[in-house]
Structure 1
Amino acid sequence: MRALLVANPKATTTSERTRDVIVRALRSEVDLSVEYTHRRGHAVALARQAAQERFDVVVTLGGDGTVNEAVNGLMSALPATDQPATATAERLPALAVVPVGSTNVFARAVGLPPQWPEATSVLIEGLRTGRFRTIGLGRADDRYFTFCAGLGLDAAVIRQVERARLRGRRSTVGLYLRSMVSEYFIGMDRRHPAIRLEQPGEPAHEELATVVIQNTAPWTFIGDRAINPNPLASFDLGLDVLAVRQLRVPSTTRTLAQVAARTPDPRGRQVVRLHDLSEFTISATRPQAFQLDGDYLGERLKVRFTAVREALRVVH
């Protein structure tokens, strides 16, 4: 079995010694090649090349951003005519993930342990026994995502966090919480909701303040605790949406408490929840912060979302 390891040397919890241990462990099971990413977007090119060269597996060593790039590289290796709402997973290398990022949402969502030693052991056993799971992906315009997307408040928070990290700050729960409070009270226009969601054949949802899209649950983790705005989201279904109409303090506080509950069930007059959608479009009257899989991608006025079912095989 031929495998390519795509390693992000800047991943939060990795080191040269860690990488060496993981490489030796994987080489005990597969014919392994190793490539290191040198810039944002590099993993896309490396994974695409691996698919074109007919590798059996692409292994990512990094966080959710590295996983997202590798997935986009794999999917882009399909001919354009083969990238509709359903893809043929068997035509692509399988994906394996060694989690060494700060949160590792995707790895944990597919059932891997959050720590790299245990996850590596599970992956080696999965490679040895051929244990694969086929999952669906989300697609936002021409870019794929594995677990979440967002326009509005959550993306604006990620934007603030990424700017802080460029200044040398560590990515911590406290940094995210402070960024959320700052963006909510100072950064965004809460008085004039600007977002519209349209589905084929359904009435539009208008004057939305923020939208969270999930391809699986959970949306993220705070420590060991899963956070689930859309608790019914699944890799085996379409996309789920939680939108909030007005970000008033009382209703927003109530919604956040519902989302963070051990049995989440967000509801209320300000909440819109949609389950198992195949496609929809989000537009806005002014540019909105936009994120995929926890990476800030700038501002958007319009994004078309599509569920791509049975898109990719994952070692687990």
Structure 2
Amino acid sequence: MSSPLGPPLLVANPGAGAGRDAVLPRLTAALRTRGLDFDVVTTGGPGDATRLARQAVQDGRRFVVAVGGDGTVQEVVNGLVDAETGEVRGRRPVLGVVAGGTGCDFARTFGLDRAPEVLADHLLGEQTLPIDLGRVRLTGLDGRPRTVLFANIAEAGYGGDVIALANRLPRRLGRARYGAAIVGAIARFRHVETTVTVDQGTRTEPLCNVVVANGQFFGRGLQVAPRALPYDDRFNVQSWGATPFDVLRAAPQLRKGDHLSRSDVREWQSARVEVAASRPLLVEADGEVLGRTPASFDLLHRVIDLKL
């Protein structure tokens, strides 16, 4: 049986899940049971998912499924769309997402944080939703200009330091890496005089973090941007004047999306965002450190379709 969108290509992080919870074998078994034709490729390192997705759509494939965490989704969308020009590669691509790895918060916004067996049924039909993708231009860690797409949420400041520290900790710690990094980065980070420019104007003040959100969730279920809509051509932008320790203490509010009433949080809806600071801030998006400020963000409006 073929999907109405053509046979899906599963671009899979083989480390998504572990043991009995390994996502890829459960997903492929469910798809075979349902009689769906599909192909699988697995990644072996950074950049592989981008290369594999790009080659697939250039070869005429339309339906590409990211099997893994937010980092896998980010790499796949950078293969489907040219970041510099904003042009899709091949025919208008359809992105499928099957959550796995250390987390896929992008999927939560759309109710796709489900078991692989459930998501196998979602891959069978033809229902899709046009979605926006974020784009950031910044200075890469190698000092050269860089342009990258992201599907979910970017941060500049403390959030970037957390991800950088987590990526240096041993992989064997699993999800505990991020908890350790959240605590460890507190001691290293201080407020930075930061200028945030949005559609409504420019503001300069001491900040610990700037959030540029296309999706609603990050940090494995924290609803940091409850008013973000990934199809309205607007980011949900937040600046945090709190200390990193205050951000940690606000975790219960963040989990429920109740933090926006805090006096140390400012919020805007904006199609473009500029972030500059008195010292370069690390920028992360979808759990990957991309580079440093100054950073410029814009949106590619409804540039791909998400498989629902």
TM normalised by structure 1 equals: 0.82
The reply to whether residue 235 of structure 1 matches residue 230 of structure 2 is yes
2:132–2:304: 8 Å Cα contact kept in structure 1?
Answer: yes
Structure 1 CA distance, aligned partners of 2:19 and 2:149?
Answer: 26
2:162 match: 157
SS state at 2:170 partner: helix
Structure 1 gaps, min length 5: none
How far apart are 1:170 and its partner, in Å? 1.4
Q: Is the 8 A contact 1:100 1:115 kept in 2?
A: no
Deviation at residue 69 of structure 1 after TM alignment = 0.3
Show CA shifts across 1:3-60 (max 9, x none).
2221211223477985345335435555423222111001101111111112120012
Query: In 2, Cα distance between the equivalents of 1:248 and 1:165?
Result: 23
Secondary structure, aligned partner of 2:278:
strand
Distance 1:17 1:106 in 2: 19
Q: For the Cα contact (< 8 Å) 2:60–2:90, is it kept in 1?
A: no
1:117-151 deviation digits (Å, cap 9, x = unpaired): 22223323x3xxx1111111111112111110001
Task: Flag structure 2 segments of 5+ consecutive residues without an equivalent.
Answer: 1-5, 138-146
Cα 1:58/1:263, change in 2 over 3 Å? closer
Percent of residue pairs identical: 27
Write the distance in 2 (CA, Å) between the matches of 1:210 and 1:280.
14
Matched position secondary structure for 1:240: strand
**Structure 1 residue aligned with 2:284, among 291, 296, 302?**
291
Q: How many residues align?
A: 292
1:266 maps onto 2:260 in alignment: yes
1:112 aligns with 2:116: no
CA deviation after TM superposition for structure 1 residue 103, in Å = 1.7
How big is the alpha-carbon RMSD for the aligned residues of Structure 1 and Structure 2?
2.7
The AA in structure 2 aligned to 1:171 is: R
Q: Of 176, 179, 196, which aligns to 2:178?
A: 176
1:63 is matched with which residue: 41, 64, 69?
69
8 A Cα contact 2:225 2:257, kept in partner: no
2:305 aligns to what?
Answer: 313
Q: Which amino acid aligns with 1:230?
A: A
Given that 2:161 and 2:185 are in contact with CA atoms closer than 8 Å, whether structure 1 keeps it comes out as: yes
Q: What is the rounded CA distance, in whole Å, between the counterparts of 2:151 and 2:287 in structure 1?
A: 10
Deviation at 1:200, TM superposition (A): 5.1
1:4 corresponds to 2:9: yes
Give 1:94 shift: 0.6
Cα distance change of structure 1 residues 306 and 171 upon mapping to structure 2, 3 Å threshold:
same
Counterpart contact for 2:135–2:298, Cα < 8 Å: yes
